[in-house]
Amino acid sequence: MESVLEAAEKRNLDGLAITDHETVTTPTHASDANTGMIVIPGVEIETSEGHLLVLGVRNPPPSKRSFAETIDAARKAGGIVIVPHPGIPFISVSNKVIRQNKPDAIETHNDKAPLFRYFVKRNTRLADSLGLPKTGGSDAHSCDSVGDAYTIIDADSRSVEDILAAIRMGRTQPVGEASAPLLENVITTAIGFLRERVFKPRVE
């Protein structure tokens, strides 16, 4: 955990959201650390239609439920919901589902997206067409890429509540570049898919 916070500090970030898959244990622990770094509790949930980021919750909503059900549960728990990496096959929520159940924001800048610039333009158009705020995230699975993409947030204070409120109001500016060459990002995306859909044990 300390290495992640150190990496964020080296990139001159004021804070970060740690969105482990299906758990908020790590960010809950980090929020109590005396680091001066803002740590927003969050989780990446696998819905039946694709991935969803939930920020501001201490307990993750149940996974494998519909996109609409997951959004409802997250908001009832006081969280905000962001669709990560739209457009990436197999793991992302479709535009149709997003339009039917509007989230609080769209991640337009994801530094692991293959064809990074294409996805930035694609997802910026999507967010603008729905009038939704835009965010950026490094989707870092190692400390090396922490901060390669991030979100500038015009919040009233450094509190998690004010930061989440600013995201809801669209006071955000996504920034970033691809963290790796195209081929490496394609391979990373493929490995992530295989781990999740092929090698991940099913829980009935």
Domain boundaries, the chain: 2-199
What does the pLDDT look like over 182-198, one tens digit per residue? 445 455 555 454 555 55
* DSSP class per residue in the chain: -HHHHHHHHHTT-SEEEE--BT--HHHHHHHTSSSS-EEEEEEEEEETTEEEEEES-SSPPPSSS-HHHHHHHHHHTT-EEEE-STT-TTTS--HHHHHHS--SEEEEEETT-SSHHHHHHHHHHHHHHHT--EEEE---SSGGGTTSEEEEE--SSSSHHHHHHHHHTT-EEEEE--SS-HHHHHHHHHHHHHIIIIISPP--
| Cα angle for residues 88, 191, 48 (degrees, 5° grid) | 50
pLDDT of amino acid 112: 87
Tokens of 168: 């809801």
Give the pLDDT of residue 34.
58
CATH number for region 2-199: 3.20.20.140
Q: Name every residue whose Cβ is closer than 8 Å to that of residue 6 and which is 6 or more positions away in sequence.
A: 143
Residue stretches of the chain with pLDDT short of 70: 25-35, 180-204
Query: What is the pLDDT at residue 139?
Result: 84
Model pTM score = 0.85
52-72 pLDDT, tens per residue? Answer: 999 999 899 999 999 999 999
pLDDT of residue 188: 54
